[in-house]
Structures are given as structure tokens and as C-alpha cells.
Amino acid sequence: MSGYSAGEKLKIALLAVALGGLFGGLLLAYGIDRPELATTVWALGVGPVLVALLVEILHSLRRGEVGLDIVAALSMSAALLFGETLAAAVVAVMYSGGTFLESFAEGRARREMRDLLARVPRTATRHINGALEDVPLDAVAPGDRLLIRQGDVVPVDGTVGSSVAFLDTSALTGESLPVRVEEGGDAMSGSTNAGEAFDLLATRPAADSTYAGIVRLVEQAQASKAPMSRLADRWSLAFLLVTVAIAFSAWWVTGDPIRAVAVLVVATPCPLILAVPVALVAGLSRAAHHGVLIKGAGPLEAMARARTLILDKTGTLTDGRPKIVSVSTYNGMAADDVLRLAAALEQATKHPVAQAIVQEARERGLALPVPTEVAETPGEGLVGRADNRSVVVGGHRFVSQHLGRTAMGHPALGAGSVLVAVGIDGGFAGHFVMADPLRDDSLGMLSGLRRQGIERILLATGDRRDVAKRITEGLGLDGIRADLSPNEKVLLVLTERKHGPVMMVGDGVNDAPALAAADIGVAMGARGAAASAEAADVVLLVDSVDRLRAGVEIARGARRIALQSVVVGIGLSVIGMIAAALGYLSPVQGALIQEAIDVAVILNALRALRIEPAPADPDHPSLRSSKEGMGRFG
């Protein structure tokens, strides 16, 4: 039993004593016909359970908590007092077995969270002076080059320092297939190297890395208590009063105290105590499996009750990174040739637009030559040579000035689009229209949330209204709020509360205040700012906004299962109490029936572990449209 905590060992010991007393008494009473000894053995089996229960009740009362543990104590005490020792023994087994079963069920529900914690690496292999050394994780600093062997867990956030890496992110995001990450691409701590060994350039210390943050959130989630659980405590008090009233009335009307004992026995313990925490913790585990980290049972219930959704634009509805949406070429140049030479030059800068051009070229499989003689004018563009050709890339005016030629006509730009011009060997070669595209899964996510009960969906952005309106055309939003400052986003959240609980989704530092103000704040954690993830109640670990729909579906499912268990369990308990009050159930029969009810509601609550979000609506086409400009070119 070395793997058990002291509390778990005590629960096992009490269950063993209760079972020994029950079956030992049955053997004496019906095996060798010694009923007087059986009564003593049954009472001895009840004693330790009753004492432990009374101690727990006293601790709860000191904390100001009143629950149905009191009914369990009353039923055992009354059964012993009126000579129903067999019923008392059954209740003792039922109570100790119920607490053990609850502990086991919660442990089963938390298994996936414990798997996360168990994966935390303790050391890292670092390159130093041409050699490798194993160092404690805390010794890793930004800029260190680490070796990640096949099968190793990535210990810190960083970028791939080798040509390519294949990462298994299933433990974090639920993605079943390994992800290919090119040199310079981001590698999330906690993912597993599914390919050959590669080098990782650390960008954050271990304490600030994604996986360390996830572990902290998991620990907070395991220690949390949901509002629904507190509501269950209040229901427990009301149920306690009803139980005592029915028991006293049955005794007073019939003059038979055994009926009161039967009523107390059939009411103990209550499914409220067992079903709610098991279902909600199971929901937390299930959501984590799908890449939705919910910071506790309270946020899970709040997520299930949300009626209004407020979405940030950049990085949430849109991808947050510019992409090429059209290419125009001149003088007989092929589009791939223009893109290849422009991307070759853009390798020399880290500007988001430049990196988007490089990414597009690599996705098309174009081999990029190493640029030479590169000179950058910050905010305007680059000049240099690539593949022995003179290349200039930048804003339309910048390229025109370098070529010494009158500006040519260029494609019409939509709101939020930007233009990149390319000159090759002294002449205009082409134009790229760049935009921040709408995420492919945005429309399916919004329609799915509508089906889940979200009644109002609003866009809140600091961008211009014409850009916001163009982006959201056809999405069926209930409102657009543009040109907002962070404080104005907070005011919008507070104003929308009149329509019901508000869920806010964002990814930037400017979204953090609104995320904290909302009833439930959701951060795009895969690429979002650390401040937004810290302020949020829910973090989407994979860069897909559709995970929000999956998270809401799991939260609603877990809450629904918890309520089902409570309503059915309490309903059956009330029916049993009435039957006992009318004399149709003996104390022993009542105890057995209540045990069956408790087992049923716990098993029902564990159904939350099998919640499987529906796939995205296949009828909604993927959307690609011109979006927010990045402000470099024009």
C-alpha cells in the first residue's frame, strides 16, 4: 500500500473493518446460529466507521459546511440504539465503500491529468564546448542549444535548430499525428520527439515554458471546487431537513422507531456528495485530452452556462499571421520564380510579412538560395542579390524608387490588405497581396456554438471598422465593436452580462483585462501572449479555434451528466424514504437499495469520461478572405 496516501489507507482500513464486521456477523448468525455474538461483531464493525465519520463531521462544521454525512451518522447511531445492528453494519459498509468508491472514481477521472504531471522531464542534454552534458532543467537558459533524442519529452519552449523535427503533441493537444516542424519553427515543451534526434534552441527557462504552466494549471484544477458543488452542499442541507422530517413523522404517526431508522438508512449517503465532483473532474480530464485546459471545475461549470460569446479578431477569428492571397506577375515572369527570389531575400529579416513570404515559398516546395549583399530599410523593404540576380522587395513606393521607374498599376486592395512589390534585375516583376486570413474552422466553430446554446456572438477588435466588417461578412454575428481600447473591451464584457454569462476569447496582451473580467475567459494559448493565458480561465493548447466548440460541448455534457445523476439519485432516494416510512422497506432493505442507487449515480457520472465532441460541420466550407494588414507595406 506504499502508493496510497494516508487518507486513502484510512478509507481502505475502514472498509475492511466494516466488511469484516458485516460478513463475520452473518457467519455467526446464519452459519453457526450464534445471533448474540453476531450482534456484537456487527456493532464492533460499525464502531470505527462511526467514530471516523463523527470526526469528519466536526471538521466540516468548523469549516461551516453541513452535509449528508450527518444523516449517515444518525442512521448508524439510530440503528445501533434500536437493536438493528445488521442494518447499521450494512450502512457502515455502504458509507465506507461509498467514500472509497468516490476516491477511486475521482482517481480514474484524474488519470489523464496525472499523465501530464508524470511527463515532466527532470534534466536536459545541453551542447557545451563541443560536448554534451546532462544538466538539471532549472539550469537551462534562453539561447542554450539542447539535444532532443528520439522519444524524449521537449523540456522547454524553443525553436528547432536542425533541418526538421517530428513532434508528437497528442498529450497536450489531442492531435493523433506527429507534427512536422521546420528549422526555426516553434517547439512546445511537453511534446515528444517522434522522429530522429534534433537540436532545440531554448527561448524560455523551464519555469516559464508552456508545459510548466500547464502543470501549474492542472494542479490548480485538481484543488478547485465548483460552484455547482457548493450548490450541492446547499441542496444537501435541504435534503437533510426533509429526511429528518420524514423520519420523525413516520415515527410519530406509527409509534414505530424502526420506520424512522429505515428512512434514515435509505437516505444515506446522498448522490449529491458523489455525483457532482466525479462528473466535473471527469469533464476536466476529457477536455484536457482534446487540447482544452480548463483551470478547475468552477470554470468548467461557467463555460457550460455561457450565453454570450465575445471574440477578439486577430489571432482568434483570424490566423494572426499574414499570408499571400494573390500573386500578379509582369514581363513574362513565372509566379514561382518571383516568389522564390523574393523569399530568398526575405530570409534575411524576421518581419512577419517577410516570414509569411518565406513560409509560402517553402510550402510550395521552392528551393531558396542564400541571399547576399542584403540591405534592409526598416519598415520599408530589402535590396540584395539572390541566385546572381538583383532583387528588391518592399512597399510599392519603395520598390519604385529603387528601380527608378514610374509606379506600375497594381491589384485593387480590400480593407486590411497590404501590397508587396518585387523588382528583379531593374524591372517590376510582380506584386503580392497579403492579408490576415480568416481561420478555416471559424464558421464551423460559430455554428457549432449556436447549436450548443450560445445566443449572442460579438466581435470586439481594436482594428478599423471597415476591416472588421469585411472579415466577418457572412459569419452571422450579432454585433461588431471596432476601434476598441483594452478598457473598452472590458466595458463591453460588463455591459453584455445583462444577456447572461459572458465568455470572452482572445490571444493578446490587450485582451487580458477583458478575459479576466468575463465570466469565463478563453485564451488561444498555442501562439497567444502569456498574459492572456494567465488571465484566462480556459486555455486552448492547440492553434485551432474550433477547440472552443469542443470545450463547450464537453463542459455542457459534464454538467448535464452531473445534474442527471443528482436528479435521478435524489428522486430514487425520496421514493425509497416514502416506502420506508410506509413500512414497505426494512432498515436492511433500505440500506441495500441506497447502496445500489449510489453505485448507479457514480457509474453514470463517469460517463463524462466518454464524452466525444461532434466533428466540425462538414456542410460549412472553409473560408479564405483578405483581412487585417500588418502595417509594414503600403
Residues catalogued as catalytic: 312
Tell me if 470 sits within 8 A of 628, measured CB to CB. Answer: no
Per-residue burial over 453-490, b = 16 or more CB atoms within 10 Å of its CB, e = otherwise: ebeebbbbbbbeeebbebbbeebebeebbbebebeebb
> Checking DSSP bridges between strand 520-524 and strand 538-540, what pairing results, if any?
parallel
Distance of CA 489 to the CA centre of its chain: 24
Residue closest to 616 by CA, chosen among 304, 321, 290: 290
Cβ atoms of 586 and 87 within 8 Å: the answer is: yes
Read off φ and ψ for residue 123, nearest 5 degrees: -135, 170
- Write down the number of H helices and E strands in the chain: 21, 22
What one-character DSSP code corresponds to residue 293? E
Task: Return the C-alpha cell found at 114.
Answer: 496525472
Q: N- to C-terminal Cα distance for the chain?
A: 70
Within 8 A by CB and 6+ apart from 278, the residues are 102, 105, 106, 109, 602, 605, 606, 608
Residues 6+ apart with CB under 8 A from 367: 340
CA distance 468 to 461: 7
Q: Which helix (H) or strand (E) holds 90?
A: helix 85-109
CA nearest 551: which of 519, 522, 585, 530? 522
